[in-house]
Structure 1
Amino acid sequence: MFGSDDFKDQAVWEFSFRIDDGGFSWDYKFKPPLWKSVVGRTLSKNNDVLLLDASHDEPTDGREETSAVFQSRFLEGIGPIKGVIYGYHQGPEVLKATGNQTQLKNWLRDQTGVRVYRDNVRVFNYGEPSDDWLGLNVRRINRPGDRFGTNSLVAAISLDLESSYLLKEKTNREGFDGGGAFPRFVKLVLSAFERFEHVAIDDRKALDDVIRGKGTAVAPVRFLDAMDSLKAGVKSKNIPKAFQREIDAIEREYTELRDVMVSAGTAGLNLAVIFHEIEREVDALAAAVERKLDEQSIKKQIEQIHYMLHGFAPLLRKNPAKSIFCSEVIEQATRVRKSRFAFHSVVFSAPVLTKEEPDFKIKAAPNLLVGAIGNLLDNAMYWTKVRQELDASNGSRAIRVFDSAQGR
């Protein structure tokens, strides 16, 4: 029978951290079952750079602004944050290796979640079975292999009562009030969880590969390569044509399924941007109406929303491959981000759009290309902010898209 500490010892991952005026410090342990090809390891860093979660880039209560890197002023009214995360792998092979699979599963069912404590007194209802105050499960939908859901984590966040004066508990004692410093608090904690996931990703993949029986030196056989070999074998052995038609049908269905999944994945990555940008434009329109701006200004706001919606529509449709100019792809990807560039004071440059570089055609599904370029632009916007803050630079943030064939 496991004791209370034994359950924690069965965690495959352990991550403890502290966020205070001195910066971000953490310790990481990977403790896999005793399988010969998986090796545990430990890491630690003091005063590390903490990159803030980029899922919401709007200011909260004015202390955070739109920074991409943690600064000590973000702890005002929150105080130092300490946390410990125990991560569990609930695959049957890993659970069996504990020697007490049933007891551990029952314990995880009751204990998983992210709890919050203030002066060692628990703040409810954080960490209850139905609670996901950090949104970990939603984040995991598109990247299940990289993220941890609440049912795989037993975590505790600790605060100091006196220092966390801007975190006000609700009158019914069910968590903190959603305003004030709470959005900052969520962002800081979620950013620490993101660092844990980033540090653990290689170890998680190594463990999953062993469970699936994949050797590290053996590359997986690509589906289309396997189909080519199968077709060649069918032809050389004079197999009846009926089998050839069945093989062609399998390949066709696989390709269709792959294209649908890729399109769905691309749409999913862009949906957050879509809703975020449209909401911002609607807010701007409401503000224009409230300020009783002239009809021309209001009309311009409405046209911008129509313009964005028409730009988003191709991303959500499945398009066949066709020849399309590079300039069209870049123009569609940037069209829906122009207001975002302006909001964040980002200078955007694409020489192919200004005819400074020659245009050229690409044969591909346009919506997938637009989605891919759009994702790169979103990432670039985040990293320009990080670079600006790390370099303590007051210069403009800038993104440039150019043809790599031009020798740059």
Structure 2
Amino acid sequence: MGKSTFKINARMLLELGAELISSDGIALYELIKNSVDAGSSTVKIQIFNALRYSEYKSLLESIDQAKTGSSVKSLVSKISAALEADIVEQARNFFEETVAVATSIRELRSALVRFYHRANSIIVEDAGEGMSLQELNDNFLTIGTRSRRKNRVGKGYLGEKGVGRLSTMRLGDQLDVRTTKAGEARYNRLVINWSLFSHDSDLRLQDVMVRPRRGKAKDDPSEQGTTISIRDLRSDWTEKKFQEIIVEDFGRLIDPFVPKSGNRLLRLFYNGKRHYLPVIDEQLFKHAHATCEAAFGLEGGKPWLRGFVNYRLRGKERPFVLGEPELRGITRSLPFGAVERLGSFTLHMWWFNRQLLNKANNVPNATEIKAMVRRWSGGLMLYRDKYRINPYGGPEDDWLSLDKRAFSSRGFKLNRQQVVGRVVIDLDNRALVEQTNREGLTDSPEKEALVALLQHILFTQFKEFLDECDKEVRVQELTTLENLEERIEATEDEIGKRLRAVAARVPEERKSLDEVEDLVGKLHEYIEQARALAEEYESDRAKFVYLAGVGLMVEFILHELGRATAHTLDTLRSIEKENPAGSLPATVPASFATLSEQLRTIVKRVDTLDPLSTSRRQQREDFDLFQLMRQVVDSRSAQTARHKIVWDGNFRNDDRWIVNGVKGMVIQIVENLISNSIYWLEVQREIDPSLQPKITIDLDQVDEQLIFTDNGTGVDPAHSERIFEPFVSHRPAKDGKGLGLYISREIAGYHEWTLTMLKEGTVRPDRYNTFVLDLSHGRKPKGSK
């Protein structure tokens, strides 16, 4: 057997064209983009509709069912009554010349078919560069060609897939392309009968012959451009439908934030009547309660994100600047190359509190402004240059999860109905590619990076700044007790499954497994104590600090517990694969010895929770800070060993420093600093693989300071105070809530201590890496002067 290849039926084009394009508006938009790519400064679209498609099919059925000798005149009257009221004069005349003078059923049917073909059409006309006869054959008839990409010099194109021309299949069965280039003497023509590619056809694609040909001579050889005529339309058209496409599709397809750009490009006509794209009234922007602008790009090969939020309602503004370390933190779950390949983008957003759009709040035309908000809201639309990528920011789309997050939170909400705005990517950005059906971008790491950065702007920079200004720090939104319990129960269930699986394999090791169950039970006790405290301090800020601190530590312990049991179970499974049933080798006790070691470490972690228990939560006591630091660090030994982090500083010395405070709260401060360091040390190691991660803890008894330093990414000086605010984080949402440093500073304040960043580049220039806990103003231990 010789070489074979795929065989393609002609109807395959139907699936790439008529069935893949989701609407008539999108089909027309594809043709508009082709005209723009051809360099045309204007695109003229004319819809001629004399008889609706559904009426046409119904009338044909009536004619086919008419018996010989039936009244032709009555059928002509029926057809005449079905004509559109605004039919153009030329179509009316053609009707009188054909359908109206038919004398037989057969003649009437033929006349009606000819009338529908000629009187109903969509014509798209541009003055672009046009196509030669050779280009019609080589480019237009090649599905998937990227001829413009090959030929472009310093210019991007809207068309990417080379299938936009197939969108004409959705609109009508007959296609007539007339095109010419400047300097040619004649037009070039291509006529295609799309019905040959229907599901009823069994023809192979290569068996449907389509040949471009020379057209008539041009009056002006300098003329250039393309006219696409589509006939035998396949759907109903009315002026109302056309207007809806203009408002709902075209009104957003060409960037409405650029004044008059849409109406400069498009000339739109329905049965000879001119229609215009809607424009955004500048009054709308004046009534926005908050705005946000941002830009992303590369400088010297390094990405940056900068912008500002202006909360007009409160008269406050905040800029933000993020460099590579922060961007790595935000996109940690993605390969950072996706961020570097993303290409530049800009964001402009206006936010409206609709409840404040009334006369009482100095909005005299409130009804009109509210209507504008409804008309243009929907979230952030996405544009390539000034042309929209559907469906982002549309009525049914929530690509940035604005509504999802708003409906799952309490109090202040940032949802799509409040947001008017757009994101603009470069025209030549090819890292973000549209799907063939024009329903969004194809899934890729670059798309995920774009979404992650935009969500950071919306939820971290914008929403949290507004929350802060409104003094609406809400525990319920991100750190509810119910949410904490759900996470713990899910982890506990998984650990239980693993314990049962291990017990079934090695019943003689039940003692080690009982230890794990006891630990889980002890954690349950702490959660119950937390619930009791929540009820006791329901409106007190102390509840927030306490619950969040306990919650973070319990989650960490369960994470370690889950990791240990999973490792043991994986080890047993691998042993079973290598040994016959019923014969477990001597390596089994060794694996349980490892589990026991891990449990001893985890027990240390649980012991650190004891000072946080309800009965001891507010008890100040004298204790040795050196000893406490050694205890906390030892409890982290397994984790820091896995991350290859080394410890440094004088905390391991045999010195003693007796201080007075709530021991459990001091543990929380240091635990939060360590957790913060471990994350950002990993980010810095991604930037610099040769890094030896290090955490240094020094206790200065003279100045009464605990000095904590790591050699991770450090903090941008502009953020050195903001990182202590609640819910401020440069991590992905799944990796942090932005509460740790806030909790730590609150605890320090409770003791009349201060927690700050040292305003010096102790590790690298222009970044702060050192935290200072100053205990000099707090309560002194007994016997001290």
TM range (shorter): 0.5 to 0.7
**TM-score normalised by structure 1 residue count:** 0.58
Aligned partner (choices 109, 117, 121) of residue 388 of structure 2 = 121
| Aligned-residue offset at 1:15 | 2.7
Which structure 2 segments of 5+ residues have no match?
1-278, 472-534, 579-586, 706-785
Kindly report which structure 2 residues correspond to 1:139-158, keeping only aligned pairs within 5 A, or say none. 149-150=414-415, 153-158=419-424
Identity %: 15
d(CA) in 1 for partners of 2:382, 2:423: 5
1:28 maps to which residue?
Answer: 308
d(CA) in 2 for partners of 1:257, 1:309: 31
Flag the structure with larger Rg: 2
Kindly report which structure 2 residues correspond to 1:6-405, keeping only aligned pairs within 5 A, or say none. 6-22=283-299, 23-24=303-304, 26-28=306-308, 30=310, 32-33=312-313, 39=315, 51-52=326-327, 54=329, 57=332, 59-60=333-334, 63-64=335-336, 73-75=337-339, 78-88=342-352, 92=356, 96-99=361-364, 111=377, 113-117=379-383, 120-124=387-391, 131=398, 133=400, 149-150=414-415, 153-159=419-425, 163-165=429-431, 177=443, 180-193=445-458, 196-197=461-462, 201=465, 208=470, 257-268=540-551, 288=571, 292=575, 294-295=587-588, 296-297=590-591, 300-301=594-595, 304=598, 307-308=601-602, 311=605, 314=609, 318-320=614-616, 321-322=618-619, 323=621, 325=623, 326=625, 330=629, 333-334=632-633, 337-349=636-648, 351-352=650-651, 354-360=652-658, 362-364=660-662, 366=664, 368-382=665-679, 394-405=690-701
Q: Secondary structure at the match of 1:6?
A: helix
Which structure 1 segments of 5+ residues have no match?
65-72, 210-251
Structure 1 residues 332 and 43, CA gap change in structure 2 (3 angstroms): same
| Aligned-residue offset at 1:107 | 6.2
| Aligned-residue offset at 1:277 | 5.5
8 Å CA contact 2:289–2:353 kept in 1: the answer is yes
Q: Secondary structure at the match of 2:640?
A: helix
d(CA) in 1 for partners of 2:287, 2:677: 39
Q: Secondary structure at the match of 1:401?
A: strand
1:227 maps to which residue?
Answer: none
Q: Secondary structure at the match of 1:345?
A: coil
1:236 maps to which residue?
Answer: none
| Aligned-residue offset at 1:398 | 1.9
d(CA) in 2 for partners of 1:156, 1:400: 45
| Aligned-residue offset at 1:105 | 6.0
Q: Which one-letter code corresponds to 1:399 in the other structure?
A: I
d(CA) in 2 for partners of 1:280, 1:162: 46
Structure 1 residues 129 and 172, CA gap change in structure 2 (3 angstroms): closer
| Aligned-residue offset at 1:399 | 1.8
8 Å CA contact 1:260–1:318 kept in 2: the answer is no
**Could you say what the CA RMSD is over the residues aligned between the two structures, in angstroms?**
5.4
Q: Secondary structure at the match of 1:357?
A: coil
Q: Secondary structure at the match of 1:376?
A: helix
Structure 1 residues 77 and 387, CA gap change in structure 2 (3 angstroms): closer
Greater shift, 304-313 or 255-264, is seen at 304-313
1:286-317 CA-to-partner distances (Å, cap 9, x unmatched) read 66556559433465257536854873683885
Q: Secondary structure at the match of 2:293?
A: strand
| Aligned-residue offset at 1:375 | 1.8
8 Å CA contact 1:116–1:127 kept in 2: the answer is no
Q: Secondary structure at the match of 2:656?
A: coil
1:219 maps to which residue?
Answer: none
Structure 1 residues 149 and 401, CA gap change in structure 2 (3 angstroms): farther
Q: How many residues align?
A: 340
Q: Which one-letter code corresponds to 2:422 in the other structure?
A: A
| Aligned-residue offset at 1:396 | 2.4
Structure 1 residues 53 and 395, CA gap change in structure 2 (3 angstroms): closer
**TM-score normalised by structure 2 residue count:** 0.34
Q: Which one-letter code corresponds to 1:188 in the other structure?
A: L
1:240 maps to which residue?
Answer: none
Structure 1 residues 170 and 89, CA gap change in structure 2 (3 angstroms): same
d(CA) in 2 for partners of 1:305, 1:56: 33
Structure 1 residues 189 and 31, CA gap change in structure 2 (3 angstroms): closer
d(CA) in 2 for partners of 1:167, 1:306: 52
| Aligned-residue offset at 1:142 | 10
d(CA) in 1 for partners of 2:653, 2:415: 50
d(CA) in 2 for partners of 1:264, 1:299: 34
d(CA) in 2 for partners of 1:149, 1:347: 43
| Aligned-residue offset at 1:389 | 8.4
Structure 1 residues 255 and 165, CA gap change in structure 2 (3 angstroms): closer
8 Å CA contact 2:378–2:393 kept in 1: the answer is no
Structure 1 residues 189 and 285, CA gap change in structure 2 (3 angstroms): farther
